[in-house]
Amino acid sequence: MSFSSITQRLTWFALICVSPIIGHAADTLSLKDSVSFALEHNRMLSVAKAQVQAAEAQADTATGQLMPRLDLSTGLFRTNSPLNTFGTKLQQQGVTIADFDPALLNNPAYINNYLTRLNLTMPLFAGGANWAARAAAKSQAQASTYQFDFRKQQMIYQTIAAYVQTRQALAQVEAQQHAVRAAKNRWHDAQALKKRGIAIESDVMDAHVYVLRNQVALAQAKAQYQDSLENLHLVLGMKNTKQAPILAEPVIQFQAESVEVLLAQAYTNRADLLALQSSVEAATAGKRQAQAGYYPHINLIAAKEWNSDTFGLKNDNTTVGINLTMNLFAGGSNSAQTRAAESKRIMASLQLEDKRQQIANEVRQAWRGLHIAEQRLQSETEALNQTLESLRIKSLRQKQGLEKTSDLLDAQARADASKVAQIQAKYDYMIAKAALLLAAGTLHEGVVQ
């Protein structure tokens, strides 16, 4: 098989690989719109929100334990027990002289009783257990709210990263399309120079191979764009569509600060740190709740009953009293519960200190990463300008027969690589901004456009 046949087949294969995968564009999708959509539709964020609601409900439950409790019950029983029968007649206010007959007392007939009871109980003192339980539940609910806030910031960062990476992949597709067009132009130039006797057949072959490689690289770039777009849809909680949206150029509002200022912001604003602080408060309240087991519990009791042989509210009686209970011995369970609560408090405190150090490391690393990304962007931009100028000079020299085709193709390859590197540096710099804002706890919807 001749070389021309091989190259022809490779050309057709490359053309098949680079067949358009980006459909007709739909509506424009900005970064701001993406963040708003993700915050509303992302499934895992919805799970975190449900956890907050559950924790708030637990806090309401603990608050309810401080309130009086009123219960209504009603029922029917039928008995011929001598003691219960006589007592039921007393409750129904239906005792007569005949009921004192020993024969009737010892062998009474069946009696029906409809019992309706309204019962009120109110805790007067529980050693502070109920108040401690309420404080613990409220602190835990606050911790859940902070955790949701941090999860929200993480979702904003994930959306920014997915959007920027998709926009970067699209820019690389566009750059690679330009590289394919440039490679074809080099191929045509080599053919023209060969006809003029300036180039030889191997120059034409090298240029053709360069076209094929760029076409395959274009197919890979399109595949990467499609992968990035699908990941963006997943992060947003959006179903994949046949039409790819137009992605606007992302903008992140950012004001450079010193690392000391950023650390202060992080200690004040990081929601995950605030969540751990609330967890420490909850654990401290949990210890107070456990210690309340050593104290007496006093409850107010009030009840009103109605007893009748037929259904209805008749023959009422009222009971009012105070009930006191105190644990004198429980096999050491109170002591064990107090020790367990103290261990939880210590663990929460240690986790809080560890989180503070972790946050400091994250801020410093993100700050260094941002400056490296900025320096890299400046370097890659300058490198791109230099390679493009070098390519322009070599292209002119090659047309005059003063430059080898292989050297020109090398220059073109360096220029194409510089363009891709500059694109990546540009969007990596944006992600680095978002990473630093996340580390400082200042990432929110208002910083994106």
Torsional sign, CA 405, 407, 412, 413 = positive
Task: Catalogue all structural domains in the chain, each as residue range(s) with its CATH number.
Answer: 16-447 (1.20.1600.10)
In one-letter notation, the amino acid at residue 321 is: G
Residue 429 has pLDDT above 90, yes or no: yes
Over residues 378-387, mean pLDDT: 92
The whole-number pLDDT of residue 282 equals: 94
DSSP character at residue 445: G
In one-letter notation, the amino acid at residue 328 is: L
Q: Residue 242 — very low, low, confident or very high, per pLDDT cuts 50/70/90?
A: low
Q: Residue 12 — very low, low, confident or very high, per pLDDT cuts 50/70/90?
A: very low
Where do the DSSP E strands lie in 221-315?
246-247, 297-308
Residue 20 has pLDDT above 70, yes or no: no
- Which residue pairs, CB below 8 angstroms and at least 24 apart, start in 389-398? 390/414, 390/415, 391/415, 398/189, 398/193
Over residues 271-297, mean pLDDT: 93
The whole-number pLDDT of residue 25 equals: 41
401 vs 298: which has the higher pLDDT? 298
Count of residues in the chain: 449
Q: 382, 380, 377, 360: which is closest to 432 by C-alpha?
A: 377
The SS3 call for residue 26 is: coil
Least confident of 352-361, 390-399, 400-409: 400-409
Residue 441 has pLDDT above 80, yes or no: yes
The whole-number pLDDT of residue 202 equals: 84
Residue 128 has pLDDT above 50, yes or no: yes
Residue 407 has pLDDT above 70, yes or no: yes
Percent of the chain with pLDDT over 90: 50
Q: How far apart are CA 57 and CA 62, in angstroms?
A: 9
Residue 136 has pLDDT above 60, yes or no: yes
pLDDT tens, residue by residue, 161-217:
999 999 999 888 988 888 888 888 878 877 887 887 777 788 788 888 888 988 998
The whole-number pLDDT of residue 2 equals: 42
Residue 17 has pLDDT above 50, yes or no: no
Q: How far apart are CA 327 and CA 367, in angstroms?
A: 57
Q: How far apart are CA 26 and CA 48, in angstroms?
A: 32
Q: 109, 117, 20, 106: which is closest to 76 by C-alpha?
A: 117
* Both tokens assigned to 355: 């989180």
pLDDT tens, residue by residue, 33-87:
888 888 888 888 888 889 999 999 999 999 998 999 999 999 999 999 999 999 9
* Both tokens assigned to 221: 């770039």
Residue 24 has pLDDT above 50, yes or no: no
**What is the pTM (predicted TM-score) of this model?**
0.76
Identify the top-confidence range among 33-37, 43-47, 233-237, 277-281: 277-281
Which helix (H) or strand (E) element contains residue 171? helix 129-195
Least confident of 159-163, 228-232, 237-241, 351-355: 237-241
What's the whole-number average pLDDT of the chain? Answer: 86
How many H helices and E strands in the chain?
Answer: 11, 6
